[in-house]
Amino acid sequence: MQQALTRKLESFEPLSDQARWALNGLVLKVRQVGARQDLIQEGDKPDNVLLILDGFACRYKVLPDGQRQIMALLVPGDFCDLNVFILDEMDHTIGTISTCQIVDIPRQAIDDIAAHHPSIARAFWWCSLVDGAVLREWLVNMGARAPDQRISHLLCELLMRLEAVGRVTDNSYAFPLTQTEIAETMGLSDVHVNRTLRELRALGLIHLKRRVLTILDVERLKAFCSFTPNYLHLRSTRWGDRRDLSWPGRAQEG
Amino acid sequence: MSGRGNVETLLVLQLQPIAVDTNSPDREGMLVIANGLLVAVLVRLEGPEHDDRGSWFMEAGFGRLQGQRVPTFPTLEEATRWLRRHLKAA
């Protein structure tokens, strides 16, 4: 699984041979986690950095009245808690949405390797900065876009992020979220999610069946929600030639 | 008869049918008026996309009901019972 980690980091930053050798020396554990299980809870001490190899997970918080808000979706290739491994405790919970394959990278190992290899530290920064950029875009999405454009924007974003890790075929991808989970992600009621998905179907923009989402007209859907992928920073202008966008592992769904 | 305590707890709810444009097949609605003030608009879910067709959904809430994420209700009676409880709670 070192290969997966190396590839993930190299998509952000070219790594020296020494850095790659150091990554190969890490002892990593892969485990399978069932759908809708918490990986780490608010208040826990984050000992490991989690990398998703397969499946969907999310960051969420639950309010005292039981209402859940999902703040981020994590897809193959995403680190779950890179942004808090320096901190003492989790300020939110991370849970799976579908069955996931997870790699645990010990926090100490990350600290050591980043201290000795500036290119790896830089790649970690890049990951965190992109996470922050996505979160900013989600704030704009929640605060300023109408429900139909808001959901369209999420679907376009997932298309781009999943395409970057080889999980899209003919503009279709596994979409394991229930309507309630979409509602919890988008700050909408289940009823509004149902109506909006119906409208997007009626407009001929999407098709959603058996948890597989197909975007029927990508350009039209992007135009519909004014989607601009700059915040995903998928292409580095400095070392774009070196980027390898393929991702190991197989999709289990879709 | 009209002691102060009674006046404070008295809550008269009236329902008044209204057609609502929800940009969907859900259009049969009810204005909910509490002591003469509009507090909510309920809409019956008719669209085939809903798992709970026939249920009532609070399409809009005003005053202290504004912005609340509310479950759907199988009957109008259950919806008004929930509304009554939440209007009295404040």
Name the β-bridge partners of A101.
A32, A54
pLDDT at residue A107, as a whole number: 82
User: In chain A, positions 152-181, which contact chain B (CB-CB < 8 Å)?
Assistant: 179
pLDDT at residue A231, as a whole number: 94
pLDDT at B6 over 60: no
Chain A environment of B23 (Cβ under 8 Å): 195, 199
pLDDT at residue A172, as a whole number: 98
User: Are A191 and B23 in contact (CB < 8 Å)?
Assistant: no
Chain A environment of B49 (Cβ under 8 Å): 194-195, 197-198
User: Are B22 and A67 in contact (CB < 8 Å)?
Assistant: no
Coil vs helix vs strand at A52: strand
Cα gap B90→B70, rounded to integer Å:
16
Cα gap A214→A61, rounded to integer Å:
29
Cα gap A230→A219, rounded to integer Å:
16
pLDDT class for B2, splitting at 50, 70, 90?
very low
Is A194 touching B (CB cutoff 8 A)? yes
pLDDT at residue A253, as a whole number: 43
pLDDT class for B49, splitting at 50, 70, 90?
confident
Residues 6+ apart with CB under 8 A from A108: none
More confident residue, B66 or B1: B66
Bridge-based pairing of strands A68-74 and A100-106 is: unpaired
pLDDT at residue A83, as a whole number: 57
User: In chain A, positions 49-78, which contact chain B (CB-CB < 8 Å)?
Assistant: 67
Cα gap A232→A227, rounded to integer Å:
11
> What's the start-to-end Cα distance of chain A, in Å?
23
Report the residue from B22, B51, B69 with minimal CB separation from A195.
B22
- Number of Cβ atoms within 10 Å of the Cβ of A86: 11
Alpha-carbon distance B33 to nearest alpha carbon in chain A (angstroms): 23
Chain A environment of B53 (Cβ under 8 Å): none
Alpha-carbon distance A142 to nearest alpha carbon in chain B (angstroms): 14
In chain B, which residue's Cα lies nearest the Cα of A208?
B49
Residues 6+ apart with CB under 8 A from A164: A11, A77, A232, A234, A245, A247
pLDDT at residue B44, as a whole number: 97
User: Which portions of chain A are predicted below pLDDT 50?
Assistant: 237-240, 242-243, 251-254
User: Are B49 and A67 in contact (CB < 8 Å)?
Assistant: no
pLDDT at residue A72, as a whole number: 96
pLDDT at residue A85, as a whole number: 64
* Residue A93 and residue A61 in contact, taking contact as beta carbons nearer than 8 Å: yes
pLDDT at residue A254, as a whole number: 36
pLDDT at B54 over 90: yes
* Residue B58 and residue B65 in contact, taking contact as beta carbons nearer than 8 Å: yes
User: Are B50 and A191 in contact (CB < 8 Å)?
Assistant: yes
Cα gap A78→A12, rounded to integer Å:
12
- Cβ-Cβ pairs closer than 8 A, A with B, add up to 27
In chain A, which residue's Cα lies nearest the Cα of B43?
A191
pLDDT at residue B3, as a whole number: 46
Alpha-carbon distance A107 to nearest alpha carbon in chain B (angstroms): 39
pLDDT at residue A246, as a whole number: 56
